[in-house]
Amino acid sequence: MSYPYLAPDYFQLDDLLTDEHKIVRSAIRDWVTRSIIPIIDQAAQNNEFPVRIIKELGELGAFGPFIPQEYGGAGLDHISYGLIMTELERGDSAIRSTASVQTSLVMYPIFTFGTEDQKRKYLPLLASGEMTGCFGLTEPNHGSDPGSMETRIEDKGDYFLLNGAKMWITNSPIADIAVVWAKDEKGMVRGLIAEKGMAGFSAPKTHNKWSLRASETGELVFDNVKIPKENIFPNIRGLKGPLMCLNSARYGIAWGAIGAAMDCYNTALQYSLERKQFSKPIASFQLQQKKLAEMLTEITKAQLLAWRLGTLKNANKASPAQISMAKRNNVKMALDIARESRQILGAMGITGDFPMMRHMMNLESVITYEGTHDIHLLITGNDITGIAAFE
Amino acid sequence: MKILVCISNVPDTTTKIKLNGEKTAIDLAGVQWIINPWDELALTRALELKEASAGKITKISVISVGSQGAEPTIRKALAIGADDAIRINTEPKDAYFAAFQVAEAVKTEAYDIILCGIESSDYNGSAFGGMLAEFMDLPSVSSVSSFELTGDVVKVNREIPGGYEVVEPQLPFVAVVQKGIAKEPRIPSMRGIMMARQKPLKVVEAIMADALTGFVAFEPPQPKAACKMVDPANVAELVDLLHKEAKII
């Protein structure tokens, strides 16, 4: 069962949003209520990605909302993008991940680093959901240390020859294209667009996940794949390229995690008011009130952090370290709330009738991908001391 | 052909209603606002008719009586597909007042079809549509649950006890619609929301008019009493309780 979704707004943050922000949020919220909530538990239980949502997300405009309209985006601001991520993750981190990857890791680099031809060719199709993309950076032996990547491109005159393998790639089994990062002969990281169907390119699915079960995860394997020269990003070299993409995606996650937390809190609050033990609602017991009050406090802090980060991002002033802090704080907050709220529901909390276990398991991935919880802490450490502890 | 849809700005149906201290008004702090669900269905049907009309329907306007706070709701109607909007800059005091304001605001523009929901989900007065038709001196059909347009001919089903009437009203007319008129409301796309920025939203000042009714006080329903469980085998105790405590037998 699920309760009506009453999103907490304890500090009247709605007053800081524009009318347009509120319409964006309500549109995505309505779509999630209609299209995701009724099916998501079964999809996760069955380990099935609901493929139809790609077209629906495209029609809704949830792919590339901040990309200009001339390339198929909506031209919205970054707070709108954040609100979209929050609402999608209220449904499930898998749904938000799909939109995050398509927007921040595929459309954003094509828009930012791509040629005009690449933008015209790919962006409108990615925005409408007629084409799905994925992002290849992480490798089997290089996660937090992408600078040591082994995937290589070799200039063969008419084309580049791509060899290597990428792992933990959201959407890879269903993607039509992949934005791939590989080193050239000089050891310089370059970005390119690989298309499914190119000889030697395969994307096997990752099985037996306990997390993001309603999402497709897989590998990207490149065995002497000929990449046409026009598929290379001409304007970016070095790790800065993929890190800029990750900044955009991490920003979205900082907002998204709040959605999972609010879903858990809302469920726990309503359950605690209904569930009676010792002849009174369990919400009347101090230990339950402590949990609920602390959850709401943490959600409120996360909302304020995300909102402020959004205003900085709109002004093009959000630093990577600020984004790291927000991603780290908000995902941990959401994971803690998933666990605490599950406790309020007792045994009922472990069933698929309620969303906590699903969110909790999803958030174990979210706290790891796009920079692990530990690495983000070290990014803050580096920022305040000037000393990198991860090199 | 032009269609006008009257929309009301109402609290989200999941809102937990709280009253102010004197119980004379609803505490609106933290309330999320939506298009009245019946009005939203009316707008949905209007958009469907326009899309199927091969250009015959040239414009769908929405109108709402409300202060600045009603604008997100109006913008949402534009994002869904309405072409332009009018906001009458005052709080809707009662149905008579609101209907008078709408009739005055649109009297110079010839709409062929005027749609509004049968009631609003805040006060459920069910009086606006009929009053609007009267002010505009137009025919009206209430409880409309289906609406078809073929050429210039409108055919509507009007719900009546045990069935429905098929009515072919003369245009222009007011259709007061209820559930069934459209399947489910549309969700605006992000591009639609951006396009709504460019669509005209005219703000007109209200005309002096009296409301005919006012709220004296609100009283929430009594909280449900505790449930007493009786063992199925103990019929005598049940009868005794119904007789002595509940006093219904």
DSSP letters of chain B? -EEEEE--EEE-TT----B-TTSSSB--TT--EEE-HHHHHHHHHHHHHHHHTTTS--EEEEEEE--GGGHHHHHHHHHHT-SEEEEEES---SHHHHHHHHHHHTTTS--SEEEEESS-TTT----HHHHHHHHHT--EEEEEEEEEEETTEEEEEEEETTEEEEE-PPSSEEEEE-TTSSSSPPPPPHHHHHHHTTS-EEEEEPPP---S-------PPPPPPPPPP--TT-HHHHHHHHHHTS---
Q: What is the SS3 assignment for A76?
A: coil
pLDDT of residue B29: 83
Establish if A149 touches chain B: CB-CB under 8 angstroms: no
- Contact status, residue B230 vs residue B114, Cβ threshold 8 Å: no
Which residue reads 């005794």 in tokens?
A: B240
Inter-chain Cβ pairs, chain A and chain B, closer than 8 A: 63
The string of pLDDT tens digits covering residues A93-132 is 999 999 999 999 999 999 999 999 999 999 999 999 999 9
For residue A282, give Cα distances in angstroms to A285, A354, A362, B106.
6, 17, 27, 55
Query: Which of A195, A219, A370, A391 does the annotation list as catalytic?
Result: A370
The band of B31, judged by pLDDT with boundaries at 50, 70 and 90, is confident
Do the Cβ atoms of B75 and A74 come within 8 Å? no
**Chain A contacts of B16, Cβ < 8 Å?**
6
pLDDT band at B232 (very low <50, low <70, confident <90, very high): confident
Residue B76 sits at the chain A interface (C-beta within 8 Å): yes
Calpha distance A104→A108 (Å, rounded): 5
Substitution target from A5, A6, A18, A19 for chain B, most B beta carbons within 10 A:
A19
| A23 contacts chain B (CB < 8 A) | yes
pLDDT the model gives residue A232:
98
Taking 80 as the threshold, does the pLDDT of residue B226 lie above it?
no
Q: Which of A12, A34, A74 sits opposite B190 (nearest CB)?
A: A74
Kindly report the backbone phi and psi dihedral angles of residue B10, in degrees, each rounded to the nearest multiple of 5, phi listed first.
Answer: -130, 155
Q: Which residue has the tokens 């009267």?
A: B134
Same domain, A274 and A331: yes
Residue A231 has pLDDT above 90, yes or no: yes
| Residue finishing a domain among A132, A154, A170 | A132
How many percent of chain B have pLDDT more than 70? 100
| One-letter identity of residue A181 | W
Radius of gyration of chain A (CA): 21
Q: Flag whether residue A30 sits within 8 Å of chain B, measured between CB atoms.
A: yes
Average pLDDT over chain B reads 93
CA distance to partner chain B, nearest, from residue A5 (Å): 8
All residues of chain A having their beta carbon less than 8 Å from the beta carbon of residue B30 are 9, 12, 14
- Judged by CB atoms closer than 8 Å, whether chains meet at A26 and B30 is answered as no
Using a CB–CB cutoff of 8 Å, tell me whether B190 touches chain A. Answer: yes
Cα B196 from Cα A76, distance rounded (Å): 12
Q: Residue A168 belongs to a domain with what CATH number?
A: 2.40.110.10
Tell whether the model's pLDDT for residue B173 goes beyond 80: yes
Whether the per-residue pLDDT at B105 is higher than 80: the answer is yes
Cis amide leading into B172 (omega within 30):
yes
* Counted domains in chain A: 3
Q: In this structure, are A152 and A103 located in the same domain?
A: no
CA A371, distance to chain mean position in Å, is 12
Tell me the mean pLDDT in the region A230-248: 96
Tell me if A31 and B189 make a contact (CB, 8 A cut-off).
no
Same domain for A344 and A261: yes
Residues from chain A that touch B79, judged by Cβ atoms under 8 A, are 23, 27
Shared domain for A295 and A375, answered yes or no, is: yes
A9 interaction partners in chain B (CB closer than 8 Å)? 30
**Whole domain around residue A88: which residue ranges?**
13-132
Domain match, A366 and A262 both:
yes
Say yes or no for a CB contact (<8 Å) between A20 and B193: yes
What local confidence, expressed as pLDDT, does residue A1 receive?
61
Angle, vertex CA A86, rays to CA A84 and CA A89, nearest 5: 105
Q: Is the pLDDT of residue B132 over 90?
A: yes
Which residues in chain B have Cβ-Cβ distances shorter than 8 Å to A2?
none
Is A275 inside a domain boundary?
yes
Together in a domain, A51 and A91 = yes
**Could you report the per-residue pLDDT of A282-341, keeping only the tens digit for each?**
999 999 999 999 999 999 999 999 999 999 999 999 999 999 999 999 999 999 999 999
**Cβ A76–B193 below 8 Å, yes or no?**
yes
CATH number of the domain that residue A280 is part of: 1.20.140.10
Chain B residue numbers with beta carbons less than 8 Å from the beta carbon of A84 are 190
CB contact under 8 A, A4 and B14: yes
Closest residue of A to B185, CA-based?
Answer: A30
| Segment A8-19 mean pLDDT | 94
One-letter amino acid at B136 equals M
Say if CB B118 and CB B8 are below 8 A apart: no
Mean pLDDT of chain A, nearest integer: 97
Query: Are the Cβ atoms of B184 and A34 closer than 8 angstroms?
Result: yes
| CB within 8 Å: A19 and B14 | no
Quick one: which of A124, A117, A16, A15 has its CA closest to A69?
Answer: A124
Residues B86-97 pLDDT 10s: 999 999 989 999
pLDDT of residue A189: 98
**Phi, psi of B179, deg, nearest 5:** -55, 145
Residue linked to tokens 């509120």: A22
pLDDT, mean of residues B212-221: 87
In this structure, the answer to whether residues A99 and A182 fall within a common structural domain is no
For an interface test with A, the pick among B12, B71, B190 (most A C-beta atoms closer than 10 Å) comes out as: B190
Quick check: is A1 in a domain?
A: no
Last residue of a domain, one of A180, A199, A231: A231
- The predicted pLDDT at position B222 comes to 83
- Overall average pLDDT of the B168-189 stretch: 95
Q: Kindly give, in sequence order, each residue whose CB lies less than 8 Å from that of residue A93, ignoring residues fewer than 6 positions away.
A: A212, A215, A256, A260, A359, A362, A363, A365, A366
For helices A240-274 and A286-314, the axis angle rounded to 10 degrees is 150
The predicted model scores a pTM of 0.92
Q: How many helices and strands (H and E) does chain A possess?
A: 12, 9
pLDDT of residue A28: 98
Residue B202 in this model has a pLDDT that exceeds 90:
yes
Q: Classify each residue of B35-46 as buried b or exposed e, where b means 16 or more C-beta atoms within 10 Å of its C-beta.
A: bbbbbbbbbbbb
Q: What is the complex's ipTM, to 2 decimals?
A: 0.91
A370 in catalytic set = yes
Residue A65 located in a structural domain? yes
The domain boundary residue, chosen from A204, A231, A258: A231
Q: Which CATH superfamily is domain B2-219 in?
A: HUPs (3.40.50.620)
Question: How crowded is the C-beta side of B229, counted as CA atoms within 13 Å?
Answer: 1
Region B26-51 average pLDDT: 94
Question: What chain A residue is nearest to B29 in terms of C-alpha separation?
Answer: A12
Contact of A256 with chain B, judged by CB distance below 8 Å, is answered with no
Provide, as residue numbers in chain B, all residues whose Cβ is less than 8 Å from the Cβ of A303.
none
Distance CA(B166)–CA(B150), nearest Å, equals: 14
* Among A87, A78, A57, residue whose Cα is nearest residue A249: A78
Name chain B contacts of A60, Cβ cutoff 8 Å: 187, 189-190
Q: Residue A239: is it exposed, middle or buried by C-beta count within 10 angstroms (0-12/13-18/19+)?
A: middle
A80 close to B (CB below 8 A): yes
Is residue A194 located within the same domain as residue A274? no
Residue-level pLDDT at A330: 98
Q: Enumerate the residues of chain B whose CB falls inside 8 A of the CB of residue A128.
A: none
* Residue among A86, A84, A23 at smallest CA distance from B194: A23
Q: Is position A5 within any domain?
A: no
Hey, what amino acid is at B239? V
Our CA-based measurement puts residue A19 at a distance from the nearest CA of chain B, in whole angstroms, of 5
User: Does the distance separating the beta carbons of A84 and B193 come in below 8 Å?
Assistant: no
- Judged by a CB distance cut-off of 8 A, whether residue A31 touches chain B is yes
**Residue in chain A lying closest to B71 (CA):** A19
Top-confidence residue, B228 or A207: A207
